[in-house]
Amino acid sequence: MGDRALTEAPATGLIEDLFRREFGRLVSALTRLLGLKNLTLAEDVVQDALITAMQAWRFEVPRDPKAWILRVAKNRALDVIRRDRRLAPLPPLLESEWTVAGAVDSVLAESETASSQLAMMFSICDEALSEDTHVTLILRLLCGLSSGEIARAFLVETQIIDRRLHRGRTRLQKLGALVDVRDIADRDVRLRSVMQALYLLFNEGFHGSNRENPLLPGMSADALRLAELLLESLSTRRAEVHALAALFCFHASRLETRLDADGVFVPLVDQDRSLWDRSLIHRGVVHLSAASSGTELTRWHLEAGIACEHAIASSVKETNWERIVDLYDALLNLAPGPVVALNRAIAIGELRGPSAGRDLLRAMAEDQRISQYPFYWAAMADLEKRAGNRAEACGLYERAMSLARSRAERVSYERRLQQLH
């Protein structure tokens, strides 16, 4: 560290990414060591270590930032264990000065990263807590988001997030110790909840409800990171987790092209496919082929299959719409829902022509959930435009604009409307 000027600042996002990863890793590890009743203490220790790092890195980032944080966190943890009487009673390993440092070292070791975080995710995804609380706790405890940030992402009041966190922490503290993922009775139930929570987390980053900032790539990256952690452990390495990871990879590969330089949504047909992240698409293909080893076809397989067809196609025209429609048929069967039906109708519009798609879409207009969804009206407008019905398309784009949830959406429909003239 030194007495010299900072010549080169680290690339944007690197520190944030490191802090998010380390927050989740260290909070999980320390909670495993100190027990869930000391969850908030573990959070405080890690928060303190990160703040210390931030203060110390104002002039220069250390050569090995990760090791730096680890060292500070370890020292803080040792201080707390030696001095904080709230911790008592401690396991014998932590009571003895001879063994305490070794115990802290081994739980903080890189090799324990996956298992501690898995234990945390599985503890969080408890049946007694709601899906929303699962996602909120994951964002707080495994990604280090503040309650204000979580509130902004989900468009709710910060107090609501604070209440959720409080409920969640209280429940976790009652559990005593983090669950052992290799040895719990309801592992499959919890795994499904974990996957569902990661899916919600990813989606929030991919087409989130945040008005000013509808894309939150950090959240999507967190979801992919945590899904891949599930695959590191034998007890959770399942075909359907590979399918979920594949889905995340395919979607994430085009995350950057979804918004243009003005922060406006770019429809799939206009996205610059040369900018799609090839390495993520490749990673998705690898996950998808691993997913096919399973015996059960889950909705994650089907959704990943659809996303894959889009990711590997050279244009909208060259896309294998027949296969996509087949996959949507199967998905509608397995997980019926208005958004799946909507996307299937769009695919049919590509495969069999605009009027086939439009007929299906029109039949859905009664559904309240769909009629409030701006994307529905825009999709119908796109089809009317393709069918040459300018006047209808105009009215539909206007309707989509009136329902738009963000500037990114509204301006996107506005532009398509202007293209009609």
Partner 1 sequence: MPKYMFIFRGGAPEIPDLSPTEMEAHLRKWYAWAGELAKAGRHTGGQPLDGMGKTIRGRNRTVTDGPYAESKDLVTGSLVIEASSLEEATELAMDCPVFEFGGSVEVRPVVHHDL
Instruction: Supply the angle between the helices 354-362 and 374-386 in degrees, to the nearest 10.
Output: 150
Q: Among residue numbers 15 through 44, which ones bind partner 1 (CB under 8 A)?
A: 15-20, 23
Structure-token match 């409307």, residue found: 417
Q: Does 56 bind partner 1 (CB under 8 A)?
A: yes
Helix and strand numbers, DSSP H then E, in the chain? 21, 0
Q: What share of the chain is helix, strand, coil (3-state, %, to 5)?
A: 75, 0, 25
- Cα distance between residue 236 and residue 29, in whole Å: 19
Upper half-sphere CA count for residue 189 (Cβ side, 13 Å): 8
146 binds partner 1 (CB under 8 A): yes
- Which of 38, 136, 147, 412 binds partner 1 (CB under 8 A)? It is 147
Q: Is 159 among the residues that bind partner 1 (CB under 8 A)?
A: no
CB 100 within 8 Å of CB 93: yes
Residue 265: beta bridge partners? Answer: 259
| Contact partners, residue 97, CB within 8 Å, separation at least 6 | none
9 binds partner 1 (CB under 8 A): yes
| Min separation Cβ 23 and partner 1, Å | 6
217 lies in the binding site for partner 1 (CB under 8 A)? no
Which range, of 50-58, 245-253, 279-287, 405-413, touches partner 1 by CB under 8 A?
50-58
Question: Minimum distance from CB of 60 to partner 1 (Å)?
Answer: 8
Residue 335 lies near partner 1 (rule: CB under 8 A): no
Residue 209 is classified by DSSP as S
The site that binds partner 1 (CB under 8 A) totals a number of residues, namely 35
| Closer residue to partner 1 in complex, CB, 18/290 | 18
Give me 169's structure tokens. Answer: 């922490």
Q: Is 111 in the site for partner 1 (CB under 8 A)?
A: no
Of 2 and 336, which has the nearer Cβ to partner 1?
Answer: 2
Per the CB < 8 A criterion, the answer to whether 202 and 246 are in contact is no
User: Binding residue for partner 1 (CB under 8 A) from 145, 194, 229, 327?
Assistant: 145
Q: Does 13 bind partner 1 (CB under 8 A)?
A: yes
What is the smallest separation between the CB atom of 374 and partner 1, expressed in angstroms?
28
The contact set with partner 1 (CB under 8 A) reads: 1-7, 9, 12-13, 15-20, 23, 47, 50-52, 54-60, 144-149, 218
